[in-house]
Amino acid sequence: MKRILLALAATIAIAAPTLADEALAKAKKCNTCHSIEKTKTGPSFKDLAKKYASQKDAPAKLADEIIHGKGTEMPANPQISEADAKTLVDWILSLK
Protein backbone atom coordinates (compact mmCIF):
# COMPACT_ATOMS: atom_id res chain seq x y z
CA MET A 1 0.00 0.00 0.00
CA LYS A 2 2.82 2.36 0.89
CA ARG A 3 4.44 1.77 -2.53
CA ILE A 4 1.20 2.55 -4.31
CA LEU A 5 0.81 5.81 -2.42
CA LEU A 6 4.41 6.80 -3.18
CA ALA A 7 3.94 6.02 -6.87
CA LEU A 8 0.72 8.02 -6.93
CA ALA A 9 2.36 10.96 -5.18
CA ALA A 10 5.23 10.91 -7.68
CA THR A 11 2.81 10.85 -10.61
CA ILE A 12 0.87 13.79 -9.21
CA ALA A 13 4.07 15.74 -8.57
CA ILE A 14 5.16 15.25 -12.18
CA ALA A 15 1.77 15.97 -13.76
CA ALA A 16 0.73 18.90 -11.59
CA PRO A 17 3.08 21.54 -13.09
CA THR A 18 2.03 20.57 -16.62
CA LEU A 19 -1.63 20.86 -15.75
CA ALA A 20 -1.08 24.12 -13.91
CA ASP A 21 0.73 25.64 -16.89
CA GLU A 22 -1.90 24.43 -19.31
CA ALA A 23 -4.46 26.02 -17.02
CA LEU A 24 -2.45 29.26 -17.10
CA ALA A 25 -2.45 29.19 -20.91
CA LYS A 26 -6.22 28.78 -20.87
CA ALA A 27 -6.65 31.50 -18.25
CA LYS A 28 -4.58 33.92 -20.32
CA LYS A 29 -6.64 33.05 -23.44
CA CYS A 30 -3.63 31.65 -25.34
CA ASN A 31 -5.90 28.89 -26.60
CA THR A 32 -7.83 31.45 -28.64
CA CYS A 33 -5.06 31.27 -31.25
CA HIS A 34 -3.02 28.22 -30.19
CA SER A 35 -3.60 24.63 -29.16
CA ILE A 36 -1.19 22.01 -27.92
CA GLU A 37 -1.10 19.91 -31.08
CA LYS A 38 -3.07 21.62 -33.84
CA THR A 39 -2.46 24.80 -35.80
CA LYS A 40 -5.19 27.38 -35.31
CA THR A 41 -4.68 31.07 -36.04
CA GLY A 42 -1.21 30.59 -34.59
CA PRO A 43 1.10 27.57 -34.56
CA SER A 44 0.58 24.74 -32.10
CA PHE A 45 2.52 24.87 -28.86
CA LYS A 46 4.33 21.66 -29.88
CA ASP A 47 5.37 23.23 -33.20
CA LEU A 48 6.73 26.23 -31.32
CA ALA A 49 8.64 23.93 -28.98
CA LYS A 50 10.23 22.16 -31.95
CA LYS A 51 11.04 25.40 -33.75
CA TYR A 52 12.78 26.98 -30.77
CA ALA A 53 14.29 23.83 -29.18
CA SER A 54 17.86 24.58 -30.27
CA GLN A 55 17.79 28.33 -29.67
CA LYS A 56 19.46 29.29 -26.40
CA ASP A 57 17.74 32.70 -26.34
CA ALA A 58 14.29 31.21 -26.97
CA PRO A 59 12.90 31.59 -23.41
CA ALA A 60 13.63 35.32 -23.21
CA LYS A 61 12.66 35.91 -26.84
CA LEU A 62 9.33 34.11 -26.57
CA ALA A 63 8.43 35.69 -23.22
CA ASP A 64 9.07 39.11 -24.77
CA GLU A 65 6.90 38.20 -27.79
CA ILE A 66 4.06 37.08 -25.52
CA ILE A 67 4.05 40.43 -23.72
CA HIS A 68 5.00 42.86 -26.50
CA GLY A 69 3.83 40.99 -29.59
CA LYS A 70 5.59 40.29 -32.85
CA GLY A 71 4.21 42.55 -35.54
CA THR A 72 1.13 41.11 -37.19
CA GLU A 73 2.02 37.52 -36.26
CA MET A 74 1.51 37.76 -32.52
CA PRO A 75 -0.54 40.47 -30.82
CA ALA A 76 0.81 42.14 -27.69
CA ASN A 77 -0.49 40.90 -24.34
CA PRO A 78 0.63 43.55 -21.86
CA GLN A 79 -1.74 42.17 -19.23
CA ILE A 80 0.49 39.08 -18.88
CA SER A 81 3.21 39.52 -16.27
CA GLU A 82 6.84 38.65 -16.98
CA ALA A 83 6.61 35.79 -14.48
CA ASP A 84 3.52 34.33 -16.16
CA ALA A 85 5.10 34.74 -19.62
CA LYS A 86 8.20 32.88 -18.41
CA THR A 87 6.04 30.11 -16.93
CA LEU A 88 4.13 29.80 -20.20
CA VAL A 89 7.32 29.67 -22.25
CA ASP A 90 8.90 27.05 -19.99
CA TRP A 91 5.77 24.94 -20.36
CA ILE A 92 5.58 25.42 -24.14
CA LEU A 93 9.25 24.49 -24.61
CA SER A 94 8.73 21.35 -22.53
CA LEU A 95 6.13 20.02 -25.01
CA LYS A 96 8.62 18.63 -27.53
pLDDT at 58 over 70: yes
Higher pLDDT, 78 or 71: 78
Mean pLDDT of the chain: 86
3-state helix, strand, coil in the chain (%, to 5): 60, 5, 35
Q: What is the pLDDT of residues 28-57, one digit of tens each?
A: 999 999 999 999 999 999 999 999 999 999
Q: What percent of the chain has pLDDT over 70?
A: 79
Q: What's the whole-model pTM score?
A: 0.78
Domains and CATH numbers, the chain: 2-93 (1.10.760.10)
